[in-house]
């Protein structure tokens, strides 16, 4: 047989099985004795060891090239998938609500659109119908009007004036009018002595938008950028050893 090692009568397959520890009992003893007695078999066995070492090292090197964050992402995706499957098989699957929701599937989009249009109409009609004496109230529903009407209104009606520190002088002129309205509603009392927490409530609610990356340099570390359409996350690799910073809580 061409598969035999030298003149030993032992095939490479048998030797490979023995190398992997898969030969058993008398067969294993016999092979071990033959290997001890035959330098050709020993050489072949040694080569198998070298090949296995090479393969292992290559795989280890490739694995090391994959950042830890990537592994975590994969496990997280598996977790999510399991959660989804568990939720799908949950007791609520046959509930009245889920049956109604399923029945409405073909008309969900028209229903949602109709509801949205009705809401817009309601808002518009209420703004149009508002009495001029209620201008302050109307302005709250009409962000565009706030930009021009807010300052005089603040002078005439002290009870609607912005909180200290967030008045018209401090309000950013370039911020969207609606955002300025939010600023006026939020109290601002900076307390620099607070424990690592600056009072930063003078910005409006954040927007769900993607960032545009122009350039990034990881300074010898690894990292990656993830975009989901509404959020951009820059992942950085830092030393794995957690550092206890109890004082920061």
For other proteins, the binding residues in 130-159 under the rule CB under 8 A are: 142-145, 147-148
> Is 245 among the residues that bind other proteins (CB under 8 A)?
yes
Query: Alpha carbon of 10 to those of 26, 29, 46, 191: distances in Å?
Result: 15, 13, 15, 83
Q: Which of residues 38-97 bind other proteins (CB under 8 A)?
A: 69, 73, 76, 79-80
15 and 6 in contact (C-beta within 8 Å)? no
> Is 26 among the residues that bind other proteins (CB under 8 A)?
no
Q: Which of residues 169-208 bind other proteins (CB under 8 A)?
A: 172-177, 179, 190, 196-200, 202-208
23 and 14 in contact (C-beta within 8 Å)? yes
Q: Which is nearer to other proteins, 98 or 121 (CB)?
A: 121
32, 46, 82, 211: which one binds other proteins (CB under 8 A): 211
> Is 37 among the residues that bind other proteins (CB under 8 A)?
no
Q: Which of residues 106-125 bind other proteins (CB under 8 A)?
A: 106-107, 110-111, 113-114, 117-118, 120-121, 124
> Is 212 among the residues that bind other proteins (CB under 8 A)?
yes
178 and 147 in contact (C-beta within 8 Å)? no
> Is 214 among the residues that bind other proteins (CB under 8 A)?
yes
Query: Alpha carbon of 26 to those of 6, 12, 23, 35, 50: distances in Å?
Result: 22, 18, 9, 14, 27
Q: Which is nearer to other proteins, 33 or 119 (CB)?
A: 119
- Alpha carbon distance 37, 7 (integer Å): 12
199 and 189 in contact (C-beta within 8 Å)? yes
């Amino acid at each position: 047989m061409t598969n035999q090692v030298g003149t030993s009568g032992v095939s490479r397959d048998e030797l490979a099985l023995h190398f992997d520890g898969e030969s058993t009992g008398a067969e294993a003893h016999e092979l071990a004795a033959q290997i001890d007695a035959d330098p050709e078999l020993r050489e072949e066995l040694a080569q198998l060891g070298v090949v296995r070492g090479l393969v292992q090292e290559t795989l280890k090197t490739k694995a090391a090239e994959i950042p830890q964050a990537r592994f975590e992402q994969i496990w997280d995706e598996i977790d999510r998938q399991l959660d989804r499957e568990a939720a799908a098989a949950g007791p609520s699957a046959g509930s009245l609500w889920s049956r109604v929701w399923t029945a409405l599937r073909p008309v969900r989009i028209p229903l949602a659109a109709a509801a949205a249009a009705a809401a817009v109409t309601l808002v518009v009609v209420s703004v149009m119908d508002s009495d001029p004496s209620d201008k302050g109230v109307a302005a709250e529903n009409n962000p565009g009007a706030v930009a021009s009407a807010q300052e005089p209104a603040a002078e005439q009606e002290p009870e609607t004036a912005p909180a200290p520190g967030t008045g018209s002088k401090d309000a950013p002129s370039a911020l969207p009018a609606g955002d300025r309205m939010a600023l006026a509603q939020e109290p601002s009392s900076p307390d620099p002595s607070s424990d690592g927490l600056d009072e930063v409530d003078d910005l409006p609610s954040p927007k769900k938008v993607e960032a545009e990356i122009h350039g990034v340099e990881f300074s010898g570390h690894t990292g990656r950028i993830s975009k989901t359409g509404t959020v951009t996350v820059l992942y950085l690799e830092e030393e794995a050893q957690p550092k206890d910073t109890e004082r920061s809580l």
